[in-house]
Amino acid sequence: MSTGDSSGNPPGRPRHGYLGPPGTFCQMALDAWPDPQEAEHVPCDSVLAALDALRAGTLDAAMVPIENSVEGGVSATLDALSVGSDVVIVGEVLVPVTFVIAARPGLTLEEVRAVGTHSHGWAQVRRWVAANLPTAAYLPTLSTAAAAAGLDPRGPSVVAYDAAVCAPVAARIHGLHILAADIGDSSAAVTRFVLVAAPGQTPPPTGADKTTLVLYQRDDHPGGLLELLEQFAARGVNLTRLESRPTGEAMGSYCFSVDVEGHIADARVAETLMGLKRVCTQVRYLGSYARADGRRTPPVEGTTDSDFTGARAWLGSLLAR
Amino acid sequence: MSTGDSSGNPPGRPRHGYLGPPGTFCQMALDAWPDPQEAEHVPCDSVLAALDALRAGTLDAAMVPIENSVEGGVSATLDALSVGSDVVIVGEVLVPVTFVIAARPGLTLEEVRAVGTHSHGWAQVRRWVAANLPTAAYLPTLSTAAAAAGLDPRGPSVVAYDAAVCAPVAARIHGLHILAADIGDSSAAVTRFVLVAAPGQTPPPTGADKTTLVLYQRDDHPGGLLELLEQFAARGVNLTRLESRPTGEAMGSYCFSVDVEGHIADARVAETLMGLKRVCTQVRYLGSYARADGRRTPPVEGTTDSDFTGARAWLGSLLAR
Amino acid sequence: MSTGDSSGNPPGRPRHGYLGPPGTFCQMALDAWPDPQEAEHVPCDSVLAALDALRAGTLDAAMVPIENSVEGGVSATLDALSVGSDVVIVGEVLVPVTFVIAARPGLTLEEVRAVGTHSHGWAQVRRWVAANLPTAAYLPTLSTAAAAAGLDPRGPSVVAYDAAVCAPVAARIHGLHILAADIGDSSAAVTRFVLVAAPGQTPPPTGADKTTLVLYQRDDHPGGLLELLEQFAARGVNLTRLESRPTGEAMGSYCFSVDVEGHIADARVAETLMGLKRVCTQVRYLGSYARADGRRTPPVEGTTDSDFTGARAWLGSLLAR
Amino acid sequence: MSTGDSSGNPPGRPRHGYLGPPGTFCQMALDAWPDPQEAEHVPCDSVLAALDALRAGTLDAAMVPIENSVEGGVSATLDALSVGSDVVIVGEVLVPVTFVIAARPGLTLEEVRAVGTHSHGWAQVRRWVAANLPTAAYLPTLSTAAAAAGLDPRGPSVVAYDAAVCAPVAARIHGLHILAADIGDSSAAVTRFVLVAAPGQTPPPTGADKTTLVLYQRDDHPGGLLELLEQFAARGVNLTRLESRPTGEAMGSYCFSVDVEGHIADARVAETLMGLKRVCTQVRYLGSYARADGRRTPPVEGTTDSDFTGARAWLGSLLAR
């Protein structure tokens, strides 16, 4: 990765990494992140490279994709967050995924012979391509932005494709002409990016928060997952995402990657975390942060902070007398 | 009830009530209770009378029946514990229920025409009576001991029965001759008595404890009880008795009377109590006390006090950094 | 019991037993039962006697109390239904429990020295008695109606009490004068009676039905009851009563007596029964019958008969192709 | 995809597609599949292309990757199975994922400047590369086998990399020299492939089977997933994989992709399927098939076929009488 000349970094201006090169959806996410300190945006080669730089201290934060409304959880990110020293998610950004097909000025759609893009981008424009460019070849690139960069008229012409599927911003950056816009098969496609930082930076609760966890079950037996979910249900905590993930040790050995509504500072989430800690082999806390959609879901009856405080006071009164 | 001459009560010698008159199984329970202070034993007319005297302060404790291995929960006791000012169970005693049929010396079994006993006692000797005294009439009495007392040769002969079904001790106290022993239909019958005291006297945990609760559900809906039981399951707390009890407000309005393994001072029980407090309309704590059978059931994995302490320390470390 | 001269029973007119003598709340229940065949009403000495006569074939049905809004489940009935050859509940009747205190004409309330009644009746008028007859003695009788019968001016005067607590009808039958009416401590008290018959007479579903079961757990372990309740929850079946009942084998060995909404002919109840059969040591089916209150609770989504039929057809289509 | 000259296909010899080109792990899976009919192996361009050909009838079956012990569920396959006309999994194959780095004969490891491979393969050799080829560039290819093919000495030399990360078989096919073997970061990595066929070909149960499903929840509410899992728990069916998958409609709208132990012909699985059908908006059955590892997990107590048959017979006896 190119983390730049860190010696030239003015003190106080933080460095935020993203999945480069410039023009990726990930950069769009970082641009959309409210950032009063005007952090420097540093392109990284991969999710792992970005998180490694964060862990090494050469980055202050990293924006990485975690979930795609079409493709689901981004395995590389989920796994890179789960191993290595602790990092925490401090925020999330939703980026609508809008694809264009772009080429050097002068080329028409009919003239396109080969298309370059990232395999994930390619997967999301299949239907459009089948209908409009049925005979075009496909060449994988490292990112959708890299596909556009390869065609930049200001650079050398070495790539074996003549059109790129990329974000509108990438076409603009690289001086390409848009042959067709909004060519994604799902018009509602959106990617969820998370901003990751070193531990100790959990933002305060906003009332519309999410908490991300990785849970390792003690053993695999019928009803095991049900028992685990009881820890959530007993405190009225709702899951918004649940994925069993291979632990990498053996096929069939899983952990669970989950998102829940609420913040670690909420009593119902805190007690759930402690309950999970007791019944799991390992619980990895990956952060509490404001929801990008700002949706507030009021706690179910009996699970507000004051319900927990009241219950504790009542218990105290029983023990004291 | 006859709570005796309280002015003559030497200071420091406590007064323990029981369901009188002398000779009841309840007195046997009180006799079996380890009591270094040698409390005065005070017969009471009814469970309610005993608990009223306790609440009024004229008794220091009351021994009352709570469950019978043949008949189930003793409704009068369960209900008397559930309403009125708080009292707590501080111990339990199991008394084998062994019935004899006894009469004034000289009478033979063949000569018995009518039998007096409490209706619960009568219910437990039905089969023996059907086989051995098929034509005998039955006269209900206030207690099995009262049946024996009515025949005491030292008293007046006014009762309309000539034999009593009672505990062996009652026959002895009242100078009766035992016509047949061990006549109960169930040879394993046992009654569970509990010693009840004013709040603030919860005995320390022994590792083989029980806690008694009354739970009032927030509302009645499919799966409501399941949700309530999740509070126990999420902390590995086992129930040893569960009874839905009418609240008395309307047919179909219930609360739950439950016994669980463990002591309020055990973290898993304490957190369960707080969880129930949150999800129930009302939780009535009726005491934690040593099990009469001394059976220790080791906490399931992840539910020891140190598991709870460890989980809290871990949570603290997440919040602190 | 006095099952009468069965030879004089005209063919075709059925015989229905009840807890006698005439004037009991149980007779009121039988009177309230819609009975186009005008069955002969036969008083029985006890619940067990009534059920024994039914099992022996000398009765065609028996009306017995099963639950009281003040006292809870009637142990004797629950247990008598659970052992012995199979019988089934075919209907239920709710009888408001209204007590009067009655005496021979001429006696005033102030003159009452001793009160006779059944111990359950006595328990339900405690507060009124404490306020109005604080010094009166109590004499137990075999039933509230028997208390009234003992004072019948047409009979001998041998009882040791001078007033009876009983149902209004019992006072009327026995020519007594009502000294005070509506003296029950709970004005909403109601007793639930069930009509029991030989197997094979389950009435057709009405859409507002109840099913009564006795469940014997395979073994006692934490979460065991939860697993059992999952059988209900997985099919959307709601419980309206649940009581752990001692099996009589040992203290701590329980079965569960439950009422659920719905009829054995409803697919959701049928599949629940089969599920319970698989996970329990024993399941005793005690009948499906119309609810006395006629309350219809529509099945939760996905649990109607057509949902079950549809699911089976879908499964068939998967297997067939 | 190149489904070949179907007119030349001798009658009776089936055509099985796989993710080409020759030399992929997917071909290894197909080679490992016991196939008495000696099907023709047809390379396809993508999972979607293979399944489309199957659905169009130009293939008889398709071998596709479904889960990787390192990367988790293969999104493209899971999603391609979930939409479009029904297809069913008829078997699974586990292929150990062993990577080599290979080049044209003559090149040494020290001389490698750029590495070509599929992005998933690249993700699995990161650590080895960081340690041994820290300065090498990465060029994405359509598959690991395509990376090897690009270096085939018999073909033109047009690729911009000089070494390929691929399966040993791909190196062999394309006449490459292996520079280093077993370079995967996880020595236990294995990929699970499934053979997919048209509906109606569910293989018979073997006693060691798996069933794959996609479940669409009726709505999202706290405890919703718990209710869904109760359908499994109530019949003792164990899950071996569970992933929430975006439905593609909106971020936060999920379905669940699950594998369970057992076969649709097993009563416990069949009843679970019907239960899920009732409580879900949609259930997609993706097949029952023999486990590749042959592991038999005996049904938990009360869930064998004869338990189900016995329960049904018992229910019938209750309804019949």
Q: What is the mean pLDDT of each run of 10 residues along chain D (321 residues)?
A: 44 87 90 92 89 95 82 70 89 92 96 91 87 92 91 87 94 96 82 92 93 86 77 91 72 78 96 96 94 90 95 91 64
**Are C314 and D277 a contacting pair at CB < 8 A?**
yes
Please report the pLDDT score of residue C5 as a whole number: 42
DSSP label at residue A111: G
Q: What is the mean pLDDT of residues C226-252?
A: 80
On the question of a cis peptide bond just before residue A21, with omega within 30 degrees of 0, the verdict is yes
Question: Which residues, in sequence order, are bridge partners of residue A16?
Answer: A41, A61
Query: How far is it between the farthest Cα atoms of chain B?
Result: 87
Q: Which residues of C touch B123 (CB under 8 A)?
A: 76
Secondary-structure percent of chain C, ordered helix, strand, coil, rounded to 5: 30, 30, 40
Tens of pLDDT, residue by residue over D30-49, are 999 998 889 999 999 888 88
Cα angle, residue A25 at apex, residues A20 and A31 outer, rounded to 5°: 85
**Are A302 and B233 a contacting pair at CB < 8 A?**
no
Tens of pLDDT, residue by residue over C148-175, are 999 999 988 778 899 999 999 999 999 9
Residue D113, chain C, CB below 8 Å: the answer is no
Residue D316, chain C, CB below 8 Å: the answer is no
DSSP label at residue A205: P
Q: Tell me which residue has tokens 């005008």.
A: C38
Q: Pick from C72, C76, C251: which is nearest to B75 by CB?
A: C72
- Per DSSP, helices labelled H in chain A are 25-32, 47-56, 75-82, 119-123, 126-132, 144-150, 168-173, 224-233, 267-279, 305-320
**Are C140 and B141 a contacting pair at CB < 8 A?**
yes
Query: What does each C-alpha distance from A171 to A17, A101, A111, C121, C138 come to in angstroms?
Result: 21, 8, 18, 89, 98
DSSP label at residue D131: H
Residue C177, chain B, CB below 8 Å: the answer is no
Tens of pLDDT, residue by residue over B262-300, are 999 999 999 999 999 999 999 999 999 999 999 898 898
Alpha-carbon distance D163 to nearest alpha carbon in chain A (angstroms): 17
Buried b (16+ CB within 10 A) or exposed e, B278-290: bbbeebbbbbbbb
Return phi, psi of residue C292, to 5°.
Answer: -65, -30
On the question of a cis peptide bond just before residue A156, with omega within 30 degrees of 0, the verdict is no
Nearest to D198 by CA among D4, D36, D53: D53
**Sequential DSSP letters for B158-183:** --S-SEEEE-HHHHHHTTPEEEEE--
Task: Decide: helix, strand or coil at residue C162.
Answer: coil
Alpha carbon D254 to chain centroid distance? 21
Alpha-carbon distance D193 to nearest alpha carbon in chain A (angstroms): 12
The number of C-beta contacts closer than 8 angstroms across C and D is: 89
Amino acid at B95: V
Tens of pLDDT, residue by residue over C90-118, are 999 999 889 999 999 999 999 999 999 98
Q: Which residues of C touch D301 (CB under 8 A)?
A: 218, 279
Tell me the pairing of strands A254-261 and A239-246: antiparallel
As to burial, measured by CB atoms within 10 angstroms (0-12 exposed, 13-18 middle, 19+ buried), residue D175 is middle
Please report the pLDDT score of residue C11 as a whole number: 62
ipTM of the complex: 0.85
- Average pLDDT of chain D is 87
Side-chain-side CA neighbours of residue A65 (13 Å): 26
Distance CA D224, CA D247 (A): 17
Return phi, psi of residue B133, to 5°.
Answer: -135, 55
Please report the pLDDT score of residue A188 as a whole number: 66
Q: Which two tokens stand for residue B142?
A: 């206030």
Q: Which residues of A touch D78 (CB under 8 A)?
A: 72
Tens of pLDDT, residue by residue over B298-308, are 898 899 999 99
As to burial, measured by CB atoms within 10 angstroms (0-12 exposed, 13-18 middle, 19+ buried), residue A24 is buried
Residue B300, chain A, CB below 8 Å: the answer is no
Nearest to A68 by CA among A47, A87, A86, A94: A94
Residue B134: CB atoms within 10 Å = 7
**Are A315 and B274 a contacting pair at CB < 8 A?**
yes
Q: Which residues of A touch D52 (CB under 8 A)?
A: none
Please report the pLDDT score of residue C190 as a whole number: 82
Distance CA D318, CA D321 (A): 6
Backbone region of residue A12 per phi and psi (left: phi > 0; alpha: psi in -120 to 50; beta: other values): left
Name subunits touching A (3+ CB pairs < 8 A): B, D
Task: Decide: helix, strand or coil at residue C138.
Answer: strand
Residue A183: CB atoms within 10 Å = 20
Q: Which residues of D touch A189 (CB under 8 A)?
A: 248
**Are D314 and C274 a contacting pair at CB < 8 A?**
yes
Q: Pick from C75, C229, C240: which is nearest to B252 by CB?
A: C240
**Are C270 and D315 a contacting pair at CB < 8 A?**
yes
Alpha-carbon distance B285 to nearest alpha carbon in chain A (angstroms): 8
Alpha carbon D214 to chain centroid distance? 15
Please report the pLDDT score of residue D3 as a whole number: 42
Nearest to B58 by CA among B78, B76, B40: B40
Q: Which of B67, B219, B243, B256 to mutate to test the interface with C (most CBs of C within 10 A)?
A: B243
Residue C246, chain B, CB below 8 Å: the answer is yes
Alpha-carbon distance B128 to nearest alpha carbon in chain A (angstroms): 47
Q: Which two tokens stand for residue B168?
A: 């062996």
**Are A278 and B312 a contacting pair at CB < 8 A?**
no
Tell me the pairing of strands D72-73 and D61-68: antiparallel
Residue C134, chain B, CB below 8 Å: the answer is no
Give percent of chain B above pLDDT 90: 58
**Are C252 and B240 a contacting pair at CB < 8 A?**
yes
Distance CA A264, CA A214 (A): 14
Residue C187: CB atoms within 10 Å = 9
Q: Which residues of D touch A236 (CB under 8 A)?
A: 222
**Are B321 and A278 a contacting pair at CB < 8 A?**
no
Nearest CA in chain C to D307: C278
Residue A275, chain B, CB below 8 Å: the answer is yes
**Sequential DSSP letters for D208-277:** SEEEEEEEEES---TTHHHHHHHHHHTTTPPEEEEEEEE-SSSTT-EEEEEEEES-TTSHHHHHHHHHHH
Is residue C133 pLDDT above 70, yes or no?
Answer: yes
Q: Pick from B69, B76, B239: which is nearest to C225 by CB?
A: B239
Amino acid at C239: L
pLDDT in tens, chain A (321 residues): 444 444 444 567 899 999 888 888 899 999 999 988 899 999 998 888 899 999 999 999 999 998 865 555 567 788 788 888 889 999 999 998 899 999 999 999 999 999 999 887 887 898 899 899 999 999 888 889 999 999 999 988 778 899 999 999 999 999 999 999 999 987 667 888 999 999 888 899 999 999 999 999 877 666 678 888 889 989 999 888 888 777 766 555 678 889 999 999 999 999 999 999 999 999 999 999 999 999 898 898 899 999 999 999 999 999 876
Residue C231, chain D, CB below 8 Å: the answer is yes
Nearest to B170 by CA among B150, B189, B156: B150
Name subunits touching D (3+ CB pairs < 8 A): A, C
Distance CA D263, CA D210 (A): 6
Query: How far is it between the farthest Cα atoms of chain C?
Result: 87
Buried b (16+ CB within 10 A) or exposed e, B70-89: bbbbbbbbbbbbbeeeebbb
Q: Pick from C229, C245, C251: which is nearest to B192 by CB?
A: C251
Q: Which of B278, B283, B288 to mutate to test the interface with A (most CBs of A within 10 A)?
A: B278
Residue D76, chain A, CB below 8 Å: the answer is yes
Question: Which residues, in sequence order, are bridge partners of residue C280?
Answer: C217
Q: What is the mean pLDDT of residues B129-146?
A: 91
Q: Pick from C78, C123, C241: which is nearest to B76 by CB?
A: C123
Please report the pLDDT score of residue C191 as a whole number: 86
Tens of pLDDT, residue by residue over B3-58, are 444 444 456 789 999 988 888 889 999 999 998 889 999 999 888 889 999 999 99
